[in-house]
Amino acid sequence: MCIEDGEWHKVADFSAVYLTFLDGWLYCIKYVKEGNESKHMEIYKMRLDGSEQQILTGDECERCITNAADGWIYFSNHDDGSSLYKMRTNGTELKKLNNDVSSHIQVAGEWIYYLKGRFGYPKIYRIPINGINTINDSGGK
C-alpha cells in the first residue's frame, strides 16, 4: 500500500517474478497458467505504469531475467541447462553466451558477472558481453 495515498497500485493482472528495469520499461517473467497450474513462463515487457505489455518470447520457456543493460536482456535459460543468454530488449537477436549453469547475473561495464554451478558453493565468473573467454574472477579460467 502506498504511504502517500493509502492505495494499492497494481501494474499487471498476471503472476510474475524476476523484475528488472531499463529505459522506462519493466521486464519480468510472466507465469502462463492453465487452471490453477503454472504451465510455462514467458519473458514479458511493459511500461512502468503497466501499459504497452508485450511478450518477448512466445515459445514455452522457463527463463529468468536477471539484468538488463544497453539494450540487452541477460538471463539464465533453464531450457538449455541454465546457460547464459542475451536478447535485445525488443525480443530479437537471441544469443547464447556460455554453456555454464549461470545464475545471479549482473552486468558491469563490458563484463557480465555470474555464479557458476547449481549446488554446493558456486564460484564467481565473468565473461565479456560478447560472450567469449570466460574468466574465473579469482584469476583462473
Q: What would the pLDDT profile of 93-139 be if each residue is shown by its tens digit? A: 999 999 998 888 999 999 999 999 877 888 999 999 887 665 555 44
**Domain locations along the chain:** 16-107
Under 8 Å between Cβ of 141 and 134: yes
Best CA proximity match to 103, nearest among 89, 87, 117, 121: 117
Question: Which residues have C-beta within 8 Å of that of residue 82, sequence separation ≥ 6?
Answer: 76, 100, 101, 102, 103, 118
**How much is the pTM?**
0.80
